[in-house]
Amino acid sequence: MRSSGYLVLVLVLCLATVVMVGCSSGPAPTAAAAAPLPQPVASAPPASQTARNDYIASGPIVVEDQVDLAAQRDGIVAEILVEAGAPAKKGQLLAKLDDRQLTADRDAAEAKVRSTAADLKNWEAAAKIARVERDRAEELWKLNIIAKEQVEKARYQSEANDFEVERQREDLKYAQESLRSLDLELEKTRITAPFDGVVARRYVRVGQEVAKHDRLFWVSAVGPLRVKFSLPESYLGRVKRGTELIVTTQEAAGEDHPARVVLVSPVVDPSSDTIDVTAELQGAPARLRPGMTVNIRLQNPK
């Protein structure tokens, strides 16, 4: 009994010693805790963050001069001188309609003009003679050499010649206008390029019969290239004529093409709350073509 009491006393003393040691001392500091913390290193913002500062829009590349050339009269295609994809200069002949009948009519009209002009000269000469005879008759009548009836006859003959001269002049004008009308009809058989550009499409073939207003060619200019797109209403008043921007394409990633705003719509589209903008590409970008869809990168106004 005595030995067991002694063991209990020893255990109580050991427990008390452990508690006292724990209360009087903390954990020992480690080398990692004692080292100073590293300072953060400044870095550039990622590319995605920079991109968020730009507004991306898209739109088609267009040119101001694009037209479908249509037949101005009925006829048969006699000759085609260019093919699709070929360049064309203003006034260059692209195709011809059969003009044989018109050419014959025109030649006849030209002959009529010459004939009428000759008749006019003949009547003008006759009128001069009639006026001389009238004046001579009036002098003889004053001298009582001829009767009054002869003087009046000479006057009437002179007036009749003057009227005939006027009629011939009107006939000549009519013949000249008829010739001019046939010349215009002949011009309609000649299909020419209205401006410098390229023949984008050909709709007809040789021997085909066409009617007035039928499409023959699609001709497009190759410059200046413009891009049309829309911006949110908040850009109204901020984007204006002369504002610079960048145009890119998916096909040529990494190629930036400078452009400059040339037109900003003064009104807002109420259905989309956007404004229409037109920009013109600078220089001569060889890889861009009318009809392509491009992206527009514009620095977002703050």
Whole-number Cα distances in Å, 132 to 129, 139, 155, 232: 5, 11, 10, 87
Q: Answer yes or no: are the C-beta atoms of 260 and 282 closer than 8 Å.
A: yes
Torsions phi, psi for 87 (to 5 deg): -70, 155
Which of the pair, 107 or 293, is modelled with greater confidence?
107
The amino acid present at 78, given as its one-letter code, is A
* pLDDT at residue 253, rounded to an integer: 61
Say which residue the tokens 């005939």 belong to: 164
Residues 298, 269, 301: CA angle, nearest 5 degrees: 25
Say which residue the tokens 């019969």 belong to: 209
* pLDDT at residue 15, rounded to an integer: 52
Query: Residue 33: pLDDT above 70?
Result: no
Reported as half-sphere exposure (CB side, CA atoms, 13 A), residue 299 has a value of 9
pTM, whole model, 2 decimals?
0.63
Q: What is the pLDDT of residues 252-281, one digit of tens each?
A: 666 888 999 999 998 999 999 999 999 999
Rounded distance between C-alpha atoms, residue 52 and residue 56, angstroms: 9
End-to-end CA, the chain: 93
* pLDDT at residue 105, rounded to an integer: 97
Instruction: Write out the H or E segment, with its range, that includes residue 121.
Output: helix 100-142
Whole-number Cα distances in Å, 124 to 127, 128, 131: 5, 6, 11
Whole-number Cα distances in Å, 77 to 128, 187, 214, 216, 290: 53, 14, 12, 10, 29
Instruction: Give the other-Cβ count within 10 Å of 302's Cβ.
Output: 5
Length of the chain: 302
Which of the pair, 234 or 41, is modelled with greater confidence?
234
Rounded distance between C-alpha atoms, residue 205 and residue 79, angstroms: 8
Rounded distance between C-alpha atoms, residue 189 and residue 79, angstroms: 10
Rounded distance between C-alpha atoms, residue 115 and residue 135, angstroms: 31
In the numeric block, which tokens belong to residue 121? 């000269």
Q: What is the pLDDT of residues 44-84, one digit of tens each?
A: 344 444 444 477 889 999 988 889 999 999 999 999 999 99
Query: Residue 290: pLDDT above 80?
Result: yes
Whole-number Cα distances in Å, 168 to 73, 123, 134, 175, 180: 32, 8, 22, 10, 18
CA-closest candidate to residue 165, choices 120, 130, 202: 120
Q: What is the pLDDT of residues 139-193, one digit of tens each?
A: 999 999 989 999 999 999 999 999 999 999 999 999 999 999 999 999 999 999 9
Rounded distance between C-alpha atoms, residue 301 and residue 217, angstroms: 44
